[in-house]
Amino acid sequence: MFPLGENAKIGVAAPSGVVDPVMFAKGMARIRGVGWAVEADEAVLGAMRYLAGDEAVRKASLLRLARRQPDLIIAARGGYGAMRLLDHLSCEELAGLPLFMGFSDATALLVRLVGLGACAIHGPTVQALATASSETVDALAGLFTQGFFPSPLGAAWEALVPGEGGGVLTGGNLTTLAHLCGTPFQPDFSGCILALEDVHEAPYRMDRALTQMRLSGALSGVAGVMVGECLHCGETMARDAVFQDIFAPLGIPVVTGGRFGHGATNLPMLFGVRVELSSDTGFRYV
């Protein structure tokens, strides 16, 4: 799977919201600046209200791109819309996709792929790359050329709940995960390490999302939690208290300081593989 190889091809699809053409062009330029061939599907800049086309258009775009057999498909942007595709894409169609990368709204596709036994990359969309930090771009370059995934925990990570655990890495955007609860596509997170992030959600709304996940059974058997950047989500102490309240009774490690999410630094993570998380030693792939 990694590294992608000297002649690797990258494709871009838009499974979610309407793409900003200016920001998209800047993101594409940064990918090409790393030295990789990237091609967007013809429907990427489509629009239907707040979506990049209706379900038929966005599904056809994704599958058309997959038939070209790129080594990696990157989501053009987040926004909203990926979960609307879940009951339009069969298990066979999803499992047949090339390696897929995205975050935020693309969480719906990431956790579905992991649930089917595939790997996926939680990492920046093309539009997000327009304003991403050089560290993020360098991390992608290292991933493509060396197959190296940096630790998503920064030097300033802290333990909110002590402990250690291991499991399959998955998760993503908290609000999107909560909205999947109670649907046929509610993820099974038992035996998993959850990476969680969000943006523009007050602490009480994060509490509501986590409580919905808890009450639905989605958090049953979770082995650990790694909290990434929660951008514009209220005071840090209030946010941390929410995660402590929800997860401390489960007796699993919870650490904060993950360098992934909606900020300028969004380090790529490989979902679907086993990792270990410790309140003492941090995170590592195994």
DSSP code string of 86-149 = TTTS-HHHHHTSPPEEE-GGGHHHHHHHHHTT--EEE---HHHHTS--HHHHHHHHHHHHH-PP
Give yes or no: 104 in active site: yes
Catalytic residue among 61, 104, 122, 279: 104
Spell out the long-range contacts of 33-36 with Cβ–Cβ below 8 A and sequence spacing 24 or more.
33/137, 34/137, 34/140, 34/141, 34/144, 36/4, 36/8, 36/10, 36/144
Give yes or no: 197 in active site: yes
Distance (Å, whole) CA 188 – CA 41? 32
Tell me which amino acid residue 68 is.
R
Give yes or no: 216 in active site: no
Copy the structure tokens of residue 79: 């926004």
Distance (Å, whole) CA 30 – CA 24? 10
Distance (Å, whole) CA 78 – CA 172? 12
Copy the structure tokens of residue 21: 């053409």
- Which of the 8 DSSP states describes residue 48? B
Q: Looking at the DSSP assignment, which residues form a beta bridge with residue 254?
A: 161, 225
Copy the structure tokens of residue 122: 């939680």
Catalytic residue among 229, 262, 276, 279: 262
Catalytic residue among 122, 197, 201, 279: 197
Question: What residues contact 41, with CB distance under 8 A and at least 6 apart?
Answer: 11, 12, 13, 14, 61, 62, 64, 65
Q: What is the dihedral of CA 181, 187, 188, 192, to 10 degrees?
A: -120
* Residue positions annotated with a catalytic role: 104, 197, 262
